[in-house]
Amino acid sequence: MCRTQVPSARCVVAAGRWGATRHPRPSRPTSPRKVDASRCAAYERWVRRRLILAFALGLPALQLVAEPALTPAAVTPSAATPASDQAAAPETTAASAAATAPTAPTALNYDFCSAQTEKLANGVCFFAPEKAVSPSGKRTLVIFLHGLIEEGQGWEHTMQQGMILYAKKHGFSLLFPRGRNGVGPDRKPSVIAWPLGPDVREAYEEAVLGEWAEARKLVEAKSGAFDEVFVMGFSNGAYFSASLALRNKLDVDGYALFAGGSKSALGNLKKPPANARPIFVGVASKDGTTRDKAKELVKALVKVKWPHKAEARKVGHVVGDAHIEAALAYLRAKKSGVASPPAPTKKAPPSAAPAKGRAKRRAK
């Protein structure tokens, strides 16, 4: 990073190219060192904001945070954020499924797991903070399902780093499984996604779920069984999580969906199964690509009386800390059998009744 007093030459180059239009050199005589220091300070603030606010967006710009001026100047259109992450919802028709039959996925030779995580034998990434326990002292495991990832761009590492911050704050361990290449909405070989369509689901789902189960066994063999296990999904991962939850596919203690989710897997279900797992739906009200489908899912859950909780936040296509905290509180309460606190009731102001009485006396 830069230093305000004596910025390094590397920082001057990076911050200079980044902020040439934001902080132009003044026309009046000014010390070049002061101008460079000002740019470096602004550049540092920009880096911090990007790391804190946008870890889960999957933007190529996030990969320019470290040294934006030392990366290729031109970013090709193919490296842009997937515009239709929500399009991966399982609503592929039979005709389109036949026309887009899955092909053998390809993978680049790079490490999916970030340096902060442990790569397990089956390739799933794992992280455990020093205090991986809930406030009640229970050991919690979260299986986090990523959104669409353009392979080789580093988006998966950004998501992992953001969730690691939440794991440290809220006391849970993390499994980061990897989706499959070529199973996304456009079947693009370089995009890692989850098998949602009927064709790719049949081809890959059992193998994917088997990797999660194997990874959990490997971790529990070393540190003991977890007291509670939750599946959390973001964007494309939220759609897959919703599909798994509504089909009752996994022996877990609950699901949480962030900026995604669809009611498609409910079909014509009239009531939930006896062992239906609770679902937390985090509605991103500023995300026009997923907001409506998430609201439709909530209405469907209410109609069939599926155990759930929905919470809308004024956020975009992100995983927010408030949603994470609310999801953990709800799922942990359901696991322990503790009822959620009732909504506060509004009381009439103390002066309301006397005012009404005075009005009647005046009328007489």
Domain ranges of the chain: 9-53, 89-336
pLDDT score at 178: 95
pLDDT score at 107: 52
Q: What is the CATH number of domain 89-336?
A: 3.40.50.1820
Question: CA quadruple 61, 196, 185, 204: dihedral positive or negative?
Answer: positive
Q: What pLDDT digit, counting tens, does each position of 191-212 carry?
A: 999 999 999 999 999 999 999 9
pLDDT at 108 over 60: no
Tokens of 52: 């804190």
Tell me phi and psi for residue 9, to 5 degrees.
-60, -40
- Cα–Cα distance, 51 to 213 (Å, whole number): 31
pLDDT score at 196: 94
List Cα–Cα distances, 333 to 33, 136, 138, 245, 314, in angstroms: 56, 10, 12, 18, 25
> Measured in whole angstroms, how far is the alpha carbon of residue 139 from the centre of its chain?
21
pLDDT at 83 over 70: no
Is the Cβ–Cβ distance between 130 and 169 less than 8 Å? no
The candidate with the shortest Cα–Cα distance to 239, out of 82, 89, 85, 87, is 89
pLDDT at 110 over 60: yes
Is the Cβ–Cβ distance between 283 and 309 less than 8 Å? no
pLDDT score at 27: 44
Which 3 state secondary structure label does DSSP give 53? helix
Is the Cβ–Cβ distance between 295 and 261 less than 8 Å? no
Q: What pLDDT digit, counting tens, does each position of 117-176 carry?
A: 999 988 899 999 987 777 778 999 999 999 999 988 888 999 999 999 999 999 999 999
- Name the H helices within 54-197: 94-99, 155-170
